[in-house]
Amino acid sequence: MAKLGLLERLRIEHPIFLAPLGGGPGTPELAAAVSEAGGFGSLGAAYMTAGQTREAIRKVRSLTRKPFLVNLFCGGRQTGTDFDEKPILALLAEVHLKLGLPAPVLPAMPPDPFPEQLEVVLEERPAAFSFTFGIPDGDSLRRLNAAGILVLGTATTVEEGRLLEQAGVDAIVAQGAEAGAHRGTFAGSFEESMVPVAELVRGMVRACSAPVIASGGIMTGREIAAALADGAVAVQIGTAFLCCPECGAAEAYKRAILATRRDTTVVTRAFSGRPARGLANTFIEQLTGREEIILPYPLQNALTRPMRTAAGQRGQAGYLSLWAGQGVARARSLPAAELMCALVAELREAQAHGTGAAR
């Protein structure tokens, strides 16, 4: 497929993809609003059961006839790793006490939901499917292809982009070091895969022939123009949409984002066991210097879930995962349709003035 064909093939007007925002922030309402506004809405279904995934896809379809994407986590599970749960349970016991929760218990390693979730995607056939943390096997990719679903993989290095291209994806999401939430890294160390988005996009465009979608720290139309000037065919934006009323993030999370005046994000394994970027807070501080007690992914994620749920209900941002990218201080609180209009107007202005290349 020619590079210019991606947006046409997806039938989208503007080169703006809503990032899949798994774990609550991403809602069918937000996905539909972005698609309705001429962007590409997405549903982060990684934490949903197969049944919830089907329900959410159908909800988006009840809200818009426009195309959208479904995203899942594929791999990255550290199932064979040895660990000692006692120190983290002791630390969490104090947090649970503060939040009025019963003492924490070690959950069972959650089974991998990917195979069942993928069957739902194949049956429901959204316009596109994206994945992160790894690469689905050849058979799954062939079935997605045969179902007419466009496939996008996530890469954090040029090398990962090449691996995705070899696997036969239709497009590559280039996730720069600035990006909010989990790192998609799957080949190589997390530390060595922190490439700034502009450098990553330029390198990937040179090395790969699949269309590249820039992701990480992009908050304004001017920054979209810069990514397009670097060779991306579109951008995938997460943090900029977190304060939209359609976004399902807890109110305390939205307040924390809007109160941020500079980049206070850090990359942490504290909440899930896998490196992810979010606003620094009490829980991250409590684990700083004690990272060795964190359980492997996704066990740590299951272990901290009761804390995060209670913190969300009680408005305690200190114990919530406040995922955000490095552009967080520039987040705007606008309905998704208005934010899309603003981004498109800024993009056009930047392109008209030839300012796209200056970030």
CB of 12 to ligand FMN, least distance (A): 17
Beta bridge partners of 234: 213
**Angle formed by the axes of helices 28-36 and 336-352, to 10°?**
40
**Site of interaction with ligand FMN (CB under 6 A):** 19-22, 25, 44, 46, 71, 132, 154, 175, 178-181, 215-218, 236-239, 323-325, 327
Separation CA 43–CA 28 (nearest Å): 7
Angle among Cα 217, 207, 239 to the nearest 5 degrees reads: 15
Separation CA 241–CA 75 (nearest Å): 26
Cβ closest to ligand FMN, residue 88 vs residue 177: 177
Cβ closest to ligand FMN, residue 53 vs residue 236: 236
CA distance readout (Å), 65 to 16, 118, 149: 18, 22, 16
CB of 117 to ligand FMN, least distance (A): 12
Report whether 186 contacts 159 (CB < 8 A): no
Residue 332's nearest CA partner among 241, 223, 221 is 241
Q: What would the two tokens of residue 131 be?
A: 């994945």
CB of 203 to ligand FMN, least distance (A): 17
The residue nearest ligand FMN at its CB is 325
Separation CA 243–CA 333 (nearest Å): 5
Residue 269's nearest CA partner among 290, 294, 304, 289 is 294
Cβ closest to ligand FMN, residue 64 vs residue 215: 215
Report whether 276 contacts 181 (CB < 8 A): yes
Cα–chain center distance at 41 = 13
Cβ closest to ligand FMN, residue 104 vs residue 217: 217
Cβ closest to ligand FMN, residue 88 vs residue 242: 242
CB of 358 to ligand FMN, least distance (A): 19
CB of 173 to ligand FMN, least distance (A): 7
Query: In the block, which residue shows the tokens 């064909």?
Result: 5
Cβ closest to ligand FMN, residue 237 vs residue 303: 237
CB of 51 to ligand FMN, least distance (A): 18
Report whether 216 contacts 206 (CB < 8 A): no
Helices and strands in the chain, H and E counts = 13, 11
CB of 160 to ligand FMN, least distance (A): 13
Cβ closest to ligand FMN, residue 35 vs residue 239: 239
Q: Hey, how many other C-beta atoms are within 10 angstroms of the C-beta on 194?
A: 19
Beta bridge partners of 41: 68
The torsion angles phi and psi of 70, rounded to 5 degrees, stand at -120, 140
CB of 340 to ligand FMN, least distance (A): 14
CB of 278 to ligand FMN, least distance (A): 8
Element spanning 131, H or E: strand 128-132
Cβ closest to ligand FMN, residue 19 vs residue 171: 19
CB of 102 to ligand FMN, least distance (A): 28
Cβ closest to ligand FMN, residue 239 vs residue 281: 239
Cα–chain center distance at 14 = 20
Cβ closest to ligand FMN, residue 92 vs residue 271: 271
